[in-house]
């Protein structure tokens, strides 16, 4: 237990914070996101992530925005386990046809008002896979998309910037 | 001389008399290096011996590695790959277009089960005597009598506007008082890939688990056809995003074999560095996630922090956090400067120190011990029967690593210790990853030391029509196989990537048994199969 506590204390807080920003861009971005969320969503926005055929690359980077460096939750953005709890659907992948109905049902299960963000090149335009017997291509071919975040996969910073763009609408 | 010589001598009578052009006799004489697949012997037999071969092979303790088919005009070519002591052979047979049947190998090798069902769904080849006649890769996106990998099936297909959900899949039913079903997925609660799990439970205990995958089937094998080598490498790098280096390397190795290209030594060493960096990044993520699934947040935060630092170095040295498209046909896309080497070395020193501290804290934590030890037990026998690879196999005593046992450049220049555990539980799979990280750190240091001056790419040569290659590398999940055949004009005719998850997924159905349902997430995470790599 002592080893554990020692490691916690010596690690300190790595979250890139306001007073001594290691990454100024991230910090300004975060503050801006927080301001808009406070104004429009009373300080909290709930995201449900849906993988609709991604290669798992986007999921790795979406995970990363929850790591102690980005810690997106401090700005009021958190991930939820059910679409019924969500304000925003974060959809990745070139919508494999085998996931089409599941995506539609997830969309229907999300209460209004809701926003859909297509994350990654596949979700934005079909990416490396495009449209085929197995894929529907862009997410907008299946459900209405409010916002896109490109990249293969988008970096955590690009994801945060993208979410900021959503709040701007 | 190796086991193949004696093994093949015993079965010379099975050679298909109608295919005398294959120089099988040379193998029996011990000459192995003239195969169309470079170092891998190809043995073409008559279709009627297909199952007999498997029976003999299993008696000789050959591991079933991969199975794939291909349409060649009116005929279909079916392949199965086997391995023993790091030596691979490809078994091949041609079947006629009018009677598309082959005796199954799945009764002998459980690992061949889903692969044969995939071939059935994609080509319409029936495996006689197969123990499970349910569809596997096909859900409802194409008709029962359509076969996407046949030449007359257009890549666009003729899909409905809305593909209906996959209903009426005949899951195993449980009977008796107190047995209930829990359907989970395809959309899961976390930030993970989609798939369906069907539990039969009694109280909290898992009585049976059945996986139903295929939700992220993207038609990779079909859309690979007609691509150029560069484009194929990009696609291979997206078979499974977490193994982008592994898959890309395997595909490039196969293409380079087909084109008879020797990659510069410097490029091979850089490939080795990025492959080991990929392994470490994923293992750090997995170890954190395993701890998170038993609510030990301290470790999760520490591991994700180390992972983030590691990925940032990837971005600054190689230009991509996940190292996508660093490996390209005939070399690598990115050189490492002296300065970068110093940064990589500094990184290694830091992570080693930090990891030592964290692992000490983790090891001393009894609540973690309670959850991870004995949970999710996979016996060495079952691990061997399914031919499991990577950390799943190595945590259950399967002492196999492509990097050591079928060493390819640059691993042929180094020696390293393959991590091994034999407890077979989640803790074993956790500690194997830790050992592998340490081994990989040493390997990266060694590769940097060995890095010679020189080019990082060589000139691409258009391969002859019909030239084939079989890439075999060790990704972070274990052995990755990549088969390539070229058509004319530098175009791909056939691409089949076999992700290690294909061998590891069936093991999850076994290791979850008799665990409690709430422990399933951590069991699943300890195996960490790729859905995308499985569904293709």
Interface test with B, best of A54, A92, A96, A110 (most B CBs within 10 A): A96
Segment B519-530, tens digit of pLDDT? 999 999 999 999
Q: Where are the domains of chain A?
A: 13-167
The answer to whether residue B302 is domain-embedded is yes
Segment B171-195, tens digit of pLDDT? 999 888 999 999 998 998 889 999 9
Looking at B128, B160, B189, the residue that finishes a domain is B128
Nearest to B120 by CA among B178, B72, B58, B76: B76
Question: What would the mean pLDDT of B340-357 be, rounded to a whole number?
Answer: 95
Beta-carbon separation of A134 and B165 below 8 A? no
Segment B295-316, tens digit of pLDDT? 999 999 999 999 999 999 999 9
Q: Name the fold adopted by A13-167.
A: Rossmann fold (3.40.50)
The answer to whether residue B466 is domain-embedded is yes
According to the model, what pLDDT value does residue B472 have?
Answer: 95
Q: Which residues of chain A does B235 touch, with a Cβ-Cβ cutoff of 8 Å?
A: 128
Segment B369-415, tens digit of pLDDT? 899 999 999 999 999 999 999 999 999 999 999 999 999 999 999 99
The answer to whether residue B435 is domain-embedded is no
Which ranges of B149-243 would DSSP assign to H, the alpha helix? 220-224, 229-236
The answer to whether residue B256 is domain-embedded is yes
According to the model, what pLDDT value does residue A24 have?
Answer: 65
Segment B481-509, tens digit of pLDDT? 999 999 999 999 999 999 999 999 999 99
Looking at B81, B96, B128, the residue that finishes a domain is B128
What is the residue-averaged pLDDT of chain B?
91
Distance CA B279, CA B283 (A): 6
> What count of Cα atoms within 13 Å lies in the side-chain half-sphere of residue B263?
26
Looking at B128, B154, B188, the residue that finishes a domain is B128
The SS3 call for residue B211 is strand
Q: Is pLDDT of A127 > 80?
A: yes
* Band of pLDDT at residue B110, cut at 50, 70 and 90: very high
The answer to whether residue B8 is domain-embedded is yes
Q: Is B239 on the interface with A (CB under 8 A)?
A: yes
DSSP β-ladder status, B179-184 and B196-202 = antiparallel
Q: Is A151 on the interface with B (CB under 8 A)?
A: no
Q: Is A22 on the interface with B (CB under 8 A)?
A: no
Which ranges of B263-330 would DSSP assign to H, the alpha helix? 265-293, 297-318
**b/e code A50-62 from CB counts within 10 Å (16+ = b):** bbbbbbbbbbbbb
Residues B352 and B246 in one domain: yes
Beta-carbon separation of B308 and A67 below 8 A? yes
* Band of pLDDT at residue B28, cut at 50, 70 and 90: very low
Q: Using alpha carbons only, how large is chain B's radius of gyration in Å?
A: 23
For helices B244-259 and B229-236, the axis angle rounded to 10 degrees is 150
Distance CA A115, CA B254 (A): 44
Tell me which residue range forms the domain holding B73.
3-128
According to the model, what pLDDT value does residue B32 have?
Answer: 35
Total domains present in chain B: 2
Chain A segment 75-114 residues within 8 A of B by beta carbon are: 79, 81-83, 93-94, 96-102, 104, 106
The answer to whether residue B412 is domain-embedded is no
- What's the complex ipTM? 0.92
Q: How far is A148 from chain B, CA to nearest CA, in Å?
A: 18
Distance CA B427, CA B423 (A): 8
Length of chain B: 536
Nearest CB partner across the interface for A60, out of B242, B357, B360: B242
Q: Is pLDDT of B34 > 60?
A: no
The answer to whether residue B267 is domain-embedded is yes
Segment B61-90, tens digit of pLDDT? 999 999 999 998 889 999 999 999 999 999
Sheet holding B478-486, edge to edge: B468-475, B478-486, B492-498
The answer to whether residue B390 is domain-embedded is no
Segment A63-115, tens digit of pLDDT? 999 999 988 888 888 999 999 999 999 999 999 999 999 999 999 999 988 88
Nearest CB partner across the interface for A53, out of B218, B364, B530: B218
Q: Which CATH number characterizes residue B350's domain?
A: 1.10.645.10
Q: Which CATH number characterizes residue B82's domain?
A: 3.30.460.80
Lowest mean pLDDT among B41-45, B66-70, B209-213, B319-323: B41-45
Residues B369 and B473 in one domain: yes
Nearest to B454 by CA among B267, B274, B270: B267
* Band of pLDDT at residue B134, cut at 50, 70 and 90: very high
By the 10 Å C-beta count (0-12 exposed, 13-18 middle, 19+ buried), B21 is classed as: exposed
């Amino acid at each position: 237990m002592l080893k554990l506590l020692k490691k916690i204390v010596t690690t300190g807080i790595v979250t890139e914070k306001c007073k001594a920003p290691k990454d100024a861009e991230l910090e300004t971005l975060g503050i801006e996101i927080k301001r808009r969320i406070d104004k429009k969503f009373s300080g909290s926005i709930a995201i449900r992530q849906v993988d609709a055929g991604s290669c798992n690359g986007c999921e790795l980077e979406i995970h990363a925005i929850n790591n102690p460096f980005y810690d997106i939750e401090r700005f009021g953005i958190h991930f939820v386990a059910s679409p019924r709890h969500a304000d925003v659907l974060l959809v990745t992948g070139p919508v494999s046809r085998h996931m089409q109905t599941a995506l539609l049902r997830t969309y229907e299960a999300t209460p209004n008002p809701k926003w859909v963000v297509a994350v990654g090149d596949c979700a934005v335009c079909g990416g490396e896979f495009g449209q085929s017997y197995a894929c529907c291509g862009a997410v907008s071919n299946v459900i209405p998309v409010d916002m896109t975040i490109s990249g293969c996969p988008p970096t955590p910073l690009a994801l945060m910037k993208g979410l900021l763009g959503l709040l701007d609408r | 001389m190796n086991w193949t010589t004696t093994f093949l001598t015993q079965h010379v009578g099975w050679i298909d008399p109608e295919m005398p052009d294959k120089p099988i006799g040379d193998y029996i004489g011990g000459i192995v290096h003239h195969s169309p697949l470079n170092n891998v012997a190809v043995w073409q037999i008559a279709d009627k011996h297909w199952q007999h071969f498997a029976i003999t092979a299993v008696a000789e303790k050959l591991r079933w590695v991969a199975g794939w088919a291909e349409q060649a005009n009116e005929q279909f070519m079916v392949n199965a790959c086997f391995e023993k002591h790091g030596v691979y052979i490809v078994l091949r047979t041609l079947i006629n277009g009018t009677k598309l049947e082959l005796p199954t190998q799945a009764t002998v090798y459980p690992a061949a089960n889903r692969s044969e069902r995939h071939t059935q769904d994609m080509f319409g080849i029936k495996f006689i005597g197969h123990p499970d006649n349910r569809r596997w890769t096909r859900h409802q996106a194409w008709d029962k009598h359509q076969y996407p990998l046949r030449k007359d099936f257009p890549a666009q297909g003729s899909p409905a506007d809305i593909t209906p959900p996959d209903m009426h899949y005949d899951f195993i039913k449980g009977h008796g008082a107190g047995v209930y079903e829990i359907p989970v997925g395809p959309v899961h609660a976390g930030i993970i890939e989609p798939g369906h799990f069907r539990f039969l439970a009694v109280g909290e205990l898992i009585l049976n688990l059945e996986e139903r995958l295929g939700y992220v089937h993207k038609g990779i094998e079909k859309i690979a056809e007609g691509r150029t080598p560069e484009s194929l490498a990009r696609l291979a790098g997206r078979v499974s995003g977490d193994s982008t280096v592994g898959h890309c390397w395997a595909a490039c190795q196969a293409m380079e074999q087909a084109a008879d290209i020797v990659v510069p030594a410097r490029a091979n060493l850089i490939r080795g560095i990025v492959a080991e960096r990929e392994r470490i990044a994923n293992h750090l993520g997995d170890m954190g996630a395993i701890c998170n699934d038993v609510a030990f947040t301290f470790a999760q935060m520490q591991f994700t922090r180390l992972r983030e630092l590691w990925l940032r170095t990837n971005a600054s040295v190689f230009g991509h956090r996940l190292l996508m498209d660093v490996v390209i046909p005939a070399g690598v896309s990115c050189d490492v400067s002296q300065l970068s080497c110093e940064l990589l070395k500094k990184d290694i020193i830091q992570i080693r120190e930090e990891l030592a501290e964290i692992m000490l804290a983790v090891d001393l934590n009894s609540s973690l011990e309670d959850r991870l030890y004995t949970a999710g037990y996979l016996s060495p026998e079952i691990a061997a029967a399914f031919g499991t690879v990577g950390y799943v196999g190595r945590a259950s005593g399967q002492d196999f690593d492509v990097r050591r046992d079928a060493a390819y450049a640059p691993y042929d220049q180094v020696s390293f210790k393959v991590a091994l555990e034999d407890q077979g539980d989640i803790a074993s799979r956790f500690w194997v990853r830790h050992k592998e990280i340490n081994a990989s750190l040493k390997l990266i240091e060694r590769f940097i030391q060995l890095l010679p001056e020189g080019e990082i790419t060589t000139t691409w040569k258009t391969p002859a029509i019909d030239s084939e290659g079989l890439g075999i590398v060790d990704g972070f999940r274990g052995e990755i196989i990549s088969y390539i055949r070229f058509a004319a004009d530098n175009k791909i005719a056939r691409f089949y990537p076999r992700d290690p998850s294909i061998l590891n997924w069936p093991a999850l159905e076994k290791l979850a048994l008799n665990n409690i349902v709430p422990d399933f997430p951590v069991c699943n995470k300890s195996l960490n199969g790729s859905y995308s790599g499985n569904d293709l």
